[in-house]
Amino acid sequence: MRPVVHALLVCRDLETEPDGSLTLRNVVEILPAETIPGEVGPLVFVAFLRGVPAGGGEGAFVLRAGGSDQTAGARIPLRFDVPEAMTGRQLAVHIRLPKLPVEQAGWFDLAFEWAGDELASTRFAIGTRGSGAS
């Protein structure tokens, strides 16, 4: 059985509470960088999954330059254990990146894979702020 991804997001921060609730801070579509090449961050990649079977789970976040088949940046594998009590419930899996090095501006594709199959993807852009001068 494959899980279903209900959302795949890029945000600045994610807070979890003891009751299981979470708060996303600053969901982004465009990230400003001071300079290119340079760095952006902090970032959190988060996938909301349903239908994850009990036991060991294995997924990955994959970052690519927009429209490229080449992995540009990172393939970040995730391994986690899903308790029987969580079967059928929505789960959020995430990875925090304090900084992401960027060699070029443009669109980036973020995908979530499960057992080697891409289940969802989203896009975000990275660029520098214009000077405002004309």
3-state secondary structure the chain: CCCEEEEEEEEEEEEECCCCCEEEEEECCEEEECCCCEEECCEEEEEEEECCCCEEEEEEEEEEECCCCCEEEEEEEEEEEECHHHCCCCEEEEEEECCEEECCCEEEEEEEEECCEEEEEEEEEEEECCCCCC
Tell me, what's the pLDDT at 129?
76
Task: In whole angstroms, give the CA distance from residue 31 to residue 12.
Answer: 10
For the entire predicted model, the pTM comes to 0.87
Where do the structural domains in the chain lie, given as residue ranges?
A: 4-128
Pick the CATH number of 4-128 from 2.60.40.1930, 3.30.70.360, 3.40.50.450, 2.40.128.110: 2.60.40.1930
pLDDT of 70 strictly over 60: no
Tell me, what's the pLDDT at 67?
66
Tell me, what's the pLDDT at 134?
41
pLDDT of 15 strictly over 50: yes
pLDDT of 133 strictly over 70: no
Q: 83 falls in which pLDDT band (50, 70, 90)?
A: confident
Tell me, what's the pLDDT at 45?
96
